[in-house]
Amino acid sequence: MTRVQSVEGHEHPADGDLLVFSFGGREGQVIGPDDVDPEGSPIFAFPMDADSRHIASESRLNEVILVRLEPADLSEESASRSALGIVAYSAVCTHTGCEVSDWEEDTKRLKCPCHDSEFDPSDNGRVVGGPAPLRLAALPLRVADGVLSVAGGFSGPLGAQDP
């Protein structure tokens, strides 16, 4: 598991961390399952320590993308990490480290605007196009007390990978 150390010494994301909006009008607010609309665009989030309320926004490597899909459309591995059809992946492309910020509504794919790498969120963040060498690292989720929380660390390496 890959984790990113925070300024306070707490590793993020960690089991039990809550997820909060990373920007916009609800920045810093805790995300519940109903906030992730199956007909909407992905949500960008940072993990937050449930006890200290520290939001791990010091590093881009902590940012995750949340997408809600039909549970029946998820691969077995993706389903095992999902909560109510919501999946989470690193928001940093494995090609050159750009932010995976685009959403292809027609194909339900995440896309990196820098070099057009595309990832399938229904199949464990698998690369389906472009130069990215590795899938996006997945983050297991669960729903507890009506909010999304982290159920473990990232499944693989984060960001750009050395050749």
Given a cut of 70, whether residue 13 has pLDDT beyond it is yes
Q: CA-CA distance, 147 to 35, in Å (whole number)? A: 9
In a domain, 90, yes or no: yes
- The CATH number linked to 146 is 2.102.10.10
pLDDT tier, 63 (very low <50, low <70, confident <90, very high otherwise): very high
In a domain, 157, yes or no: no
Q: CA-CA distance, 55 to 84, in Å (whole number)? A: 24
Place of tokens 């909060």: 20
In a domain, 158, yes or no: no
pLDDT tens digits for range 106-155: 999 999 999 999 999 999 999 999 999 999 999 999 998 999 999 999 99
Cβ neighbours around 72 below 10 Å, total: 8
In a domain, 155, yes or no: no
Task: Report the residue count for the chain.
Answer: 163
In a domain, 64, yes or no: yes
Place of tokens 């698998």: 126
Q: CA-CA distance, 131 to 157, in Å (whole number)? A: 16
In a domain, 52, yes or no: yes
pTM: 0.91
* 42 prior amide bond cis, ω within 30: no
In a domain, 24, yes or no: yes
- Residue whose C-alpha is closest to residue 117's, from 132, 99, 97, 138: 132
Q: Which amino acid is at 129?
A: G
Range of the domain at 10: 4-150
Number of domains in the chain: 1
> What CA–CA distances, in Å, run from 119 to 94, 131, 159?
10, 11, 14
In a domain, 163, yes or no: no
Residue 78 buriedness (CB in 10 A; 0-12 / 13-18 / 19+):
buried
**pLDDT at residue 43, rounded to an integer:** 97
Q: CA-CA distance, 12 to 51, in Å (whole number)? A: 13
